[in-house]
Chain A
Amino acid sequence: MSENGTELLHEVAQSEYKYGFVTDIESDKAPAGLSEDTIRFISAKKNEPSWLLEWRLRAYRHFVSLMEDGDGLPEWAHLNIPPIDFQAISYYSAPKQKPELESLDEVDPELIDTFNKLGIPLAEQERLVGIAVDVVMDSVSVTTTFNKELEKNGIIFCSFSEAVQNHPELIQKYLGSVVPHTDNFFAALNSAVFSDGSFCYIPKGVKCPVELSTYFRINEAGTGQFERTLIVADEDSYVSYLEGCTAPQRDENQLHAAVVEIVAHDDAEVKYSTIQNWYPGNSEGVGGIYNFVTKRGICQGDRSKISWTQLETGSSITWKYPSCILKGDDSVGEFYSVAFTKGMQQADTGTKMIHIGKNTSSTIISKGISAGKSQNSYRGLVKVNRGAENARNFSQCDSMLLGDRCGAHTFPYLEISNPTAKVEHEATTSKIGEDQIFYCLQRGISEQDAIKLIVNGFAKEILAMLPMEFAVEARNLLAIELEGSVG
């Protein structure tokens, strides 16, 4: 890289987060600290049945035992995680007004304004795009749209709390069935203190006519966010679910430990798409979000399919491996990811494909883009169990380096216990080419636009997997992230 080119890349890599603002909405939050009392407080606030309180307490006790065995944090990731004071976190925060809304006009105008700043005009989306949006802000749902349309098809799409009240049998059956509270440290914490999230149930034979979308935001200083998402696709159903999130600028670190569980029965298909741009911290890495998420789906039924697509640009630390358990015969798992890191960001992301049923297949395509002094790792496991006849996997991991102070790493793990398995892995690492940039410059394209073109080209294959309106947002986001102060 030429000196100027390298400088520009550094400037690009240090550009400040554009979505750093705080919305001033009154909230009702629990005092900081974690104890059985905190959990009883949350459970009581939410008027939960006693089995759920017991479930939370079991998870809490497990969490405490992990804490006693050490700090409990996973150590294998290629991450440098500062110690977290779990007692300093406030575990519950709900907006004071929780009105029943008929239309968007009744929504707090400040909230609407927030979404406008993010370039997510809710009204616009409702009218033009036909997305049902379940807004999660400070952990409790504020508004849910399109419910009537969904109800007609028997689709349940609501906040987790509502689902606990209205569909307790489904929650009790599926909660923790894919990610048990013993799964890992953060899953245990989430299970103990989760405040809200989304629940989605698609009945037998129903193809969900709209894309279901949830926008998450952290909005209260010091509030940990512990979302819980559960998606159940019954036999021969289909749903495309979108999750996007951005957080306002903060001076203190914020912990985000969500859990997402997906269950796909026979012939069902779930497509789960994420755009993640939580606040990554300032150029020294101070104040960003810790994003420690457990996402897992089980292809429970034969011929079922779960597909994860993600664009990860935010958070100071990301620890996330959306995974598929391919239990049903002929089931399919997919993972498509673009992870962009800059500044001091650290990302350790990838997937696990666990082949259990016969004739299962999985595809992994991961694109990592590193800039600044960031560290970007792909970590993926392909596991083929003894009984998984004719399992197929294709993995491709490409990394692109912008500048010379960042790092890209690939950690593929293979555990193959059946000789009929066919597993392919390809990996490349490239530095954004001086020749490529020169070629663009010579055609009159500015250096900044050249970098955008080249990076977008690199990520295009994945972004094209996102639902249309999300793909546009993803391209814009990537362009904003790449923007430096030049030009």
Chain B
Amino acid sequence: MLTIKNLHASIEEDGTEILKGLDLTVNAGEVHAIMGPNGSGKSTLASVLAGREDYEVTEGSIDFDGEDLLEMETDERAREGLFLAFQYPVELPGVSMSNFLKQAVNSVREHRGEEPLSAGDFLKLMKEKAALVHLDPSLKTRSVNEGFSGGEKKRNEIFQLAMLDPKLAILDETDSGLDIDALRIVADGVNDLRGEDRAFVVITHYQRLLDYIVPDFVHVLVDGKIVMSGGKELALELEEKGYDWIKADTGQAV
């Protein structure tokens, strides 16, 4: 579904290279965890995949379901089924959740050649998916992320994921700032959404989240490259030994 080859990306403003030759292959149905120390390029990878213009891809390729992802605009990628759960969800004052999601869901549906949802069906869908992450249905009248608690914002991301039904979901440090109960709710929501046709890339600093969202593969990102890959047990090893061990082992500078 997703094939990243030799990806190099820099900050557009000052040309600092963050990703330095990253390779990754994700197949449908799989859950991949990307772990790594602060500043290793985890969030940059998420941003480049989603198409944030602050980064410039200088080398390499990304194939998304047979198409060249780098040729697509940000909104096109989303409509093609790439979803990013934001580390810091953005507030849209005065824009109601239902208005926002109606526009988003119908954009995606139109792209797929489907009819827009009727008002009734849309509200039904909202209610059903909100329940998945224990969000109060009254959220439909609230402004997007405005006045949401930290936990609510993260649950709201997973709720939107469920609404948009993407092929590939990237969770960017979705666990950060969550207490254990909220973490469990978010993880349960994600697990419900796992399926044969959908892949997940879970970016996290801590192993904790992976107790609940058990990955098929774990990759360690250090200084813009994946330096080690393994099964779920790799996460536990990292938890025990920390990242310095990897850095020493692979000869990467700290």
Binds B, one of A12-20, A102-110, A432-440: A432-440
Cβ contact within 8 Å between A4 and B92: no
Q: Does chain A have a CB within 8 A of B208?
A: no
Q: Are B94 and A444 in contact, CB atoms less than 8 angstroms apart?
A: no
**Quick check: A439 and B78 within 8 Å, CB to CB?**
no
B242 contacts the other chain (CB 8 A): no
Minimum C-beta distance from A207 to chain B (A)? 30
Indicate if the CB atoms of B107 and A445 lie closer than 8 Å: yes
Q: Does B52 contact A (CB under 8 A)?
A: yes
Once A2-B53, A438-B52, A439-B89 are accepted as A-B contacts, the answer to whether A445 and B103 lie under 8 Å apart by CB is: yes
Instruction: Point out the residue from B73, B93, B164 that lies within 8 Å of A443, measured CB to CB.
Output: B164
A453 to chain B, nearest CB (A): 5
Which residues in window 60-77 of B have CB below 8 A to A? 73-75, 77
Residue B11 at the chain A interface, CB threshold 8 Å: no
B95 is an interface residue with CB less than 8 A from chain A: yes
Do residues A459 and B90 form an inter-chain contact, with CB atoms below 8 A? no
Q: Which chain A residues lie closer than 8 Å to B86 at the CB level?
A: 439, 442
- A residues less than 8 Å from B99 (CB atoms): 453
Please measure, in the bound complex, the distance between the C-alpha atom of A353 and the C-alpha atom of B212, giving whole angstroms.
60
Contact B95 A456 (CB under 8 A): yes
Contacts of B75 in A (CB 8 A): 440-442, 444-447
| Distance (whole angstroms) from the CB of A469 to the closest CB of chain B | 19
A444/B107 in contact, CB under 8 A = yes
Contact B92 A444 (CB under 8 A): no
Q: Given the complex, which residues of B lie within 8 Å of A5, measured CB to CB?
A: 53
CA distance A460 to B92 in the complex (A): 12
Whether a CB of chain B sits under 8 angstroms from the CB of A449 is: yes
Contact of B48 with A by CB under 8 A = no
Question: Known contacts A441-B75, A444-B75, A447-B75; is A454 also within 8 Å of B104 by CB?
Answer: no
Q: Does B168 lie at the interface of the complex (its beta carbon under 8 Å from any beta carbon of A)?
A: no
Contacts of A441 in B (CB 8 A): 51, 73-75, 78
- Residues of the A chain whose Cβ atoms lie less than 8 Å from the Cβ of B104: 440, 443-445
Complex Cα gap A457–B89 (Å) = 17
**B95 closest partner in A (C-beta):** A457
Residues 396-423 of chain A: 1 if any B CB is under 8 Å from the residue's CB, otherwise 0? Answer: 0000000000000000000000000000
Q: Within 8 Å of chain B (Cβ to Cβ): is A458?
A: yes
B245 within 8 A of A: no
| Neighbouring A residues of B79 by C-beta, 8 Å | 444
Majority secondary structure of chain A interface residues (helix, strand, loop or mixed): helix
Given known contacts A438-B52, A444-B111, A445-B107, A454 and B92 CB-to-CB distance under 8 angstroms: yes
- Pick the residue among B53, B90, B107 that contacts A433 (CB under 8 A): B90
A124 within 8 A of B: no
Residue among B74, B92, B104 having the largest count of chain A Cβ atoms under 10 Å: B74
Q: Which residue of A lies closest to B79 (CB)?
A: A444
A461 at the interface (CB under 8 A from B): yes
Residues A444 and B90 in contact, CB atoms below 8 Å apart: no
Out of B77, B92, B108, name the residue touching A453 (CB < 8 Å): B92
Tell me whether B50 is interfacial, beta carbon within 8 Å: yes
> Contacts A438-B74, A453-B100, A457-B143 hold; do A444 and B95 have CB atoms under 8 A apart?
no
CB contacts (< 8 Å) of B50 on chain A: these are 438, 442
Quote the shortest CB–CB distance from A376 to chain B (angstroms): 18
Chain B residues with CB under 8 A of A447: 75
With A4-B53, A444-B75, A445-B75 given, is the CB distance from A453 to B90 under 8 Å?
Answer: no
Q: Is B222 an interface residue (CB 8 A)?
A: no
B160 lies within 8 A of chain A by Cβ: yes
Mask for B148-185, Cβ within 8 A of A = 1, else 0? 00000000000010001000000000000000000000
Q: Please give, as numbers and ranges, the residues of chain B lying within 8 Å of A435 by CB-CB distance.
A: 90
Contact B108 A457 (CB under 8 A): no
- Against B, the Cβ 8 Å flags (1 = close, 0 = not) of A451-487 are 0011011111100000000000000000000000000
> In the complex, are the beta carbons of B94 and A457 less than 8 A apart?
yes
Minimal beta-carbon separation of A76 from chain B (angstroms): 32
Determine whether B84 belongs to the interface, using a CB cutoff of 8 Å to chain A. yes
B92 touches A446 (CB 8 A): no
Residues 40-55 of B, flagged 1 when their CB comes within 8 A of A and 0 if not, give: 0000000000111110
User: Which of A2, A438, A443, A454 counts the most B-chain CB atoms under 10 A from its CB?
Assistant: A443
Which residues of chain B are within 8 angstroms of A433 by Cβ–Cβ distance? Answer: 90
Q: Least Cβ distance of B144 to chain A in Å?
A: 8
- Residue contact A446 to B95, C-beta cutoff 8 Å: no
Residue of A nearest to B52 (CB): A438
| Contact surface of B with A, Cβ cutoff 8 Å | 50-54, 73-75, 77-79, 83-84, 86, 89-95, 99-101, 103-104, 107-108, 111, 143, 160, 164
Please give me the 6 A-B residue pairs with the lowest Cβ-Cβ distance, nearest first.
A457-B94, A457-B95, A443-B104, A444-B78, A439-B90, A441-B74
Instruction: Provide 13 A-B residue pairs closer than 8 Å at the C-beta atoms, listed in order of the A residue.
Output: A438-B53, A439-B92, A440-B100, A441-B51, A442-B50, A443-B101, A443-B160, A444-B78, A444-B104, A453-B95, A457-B93, A457-B95, A457-B143
Chain A positions near chain B (C-beta within 8 angstroms)? 2-5, 433, 435-436, 438-447, 449, 453-454, 456-461
**Besides A438-B74, A439-B92, A454-B92, 20 other CB < 8 A contacts?**
A4-B53, A433-B90, A436-B92, A439-B86, A440-B92, A440-B100, A442-B50, A442-B77, A442-B84, A442-B86, A444-B79, A444-B104, A444-B111, A446-B107, A449-B103, A453-B92, A456-B94, A456-B95, A457-B94, A458-B93
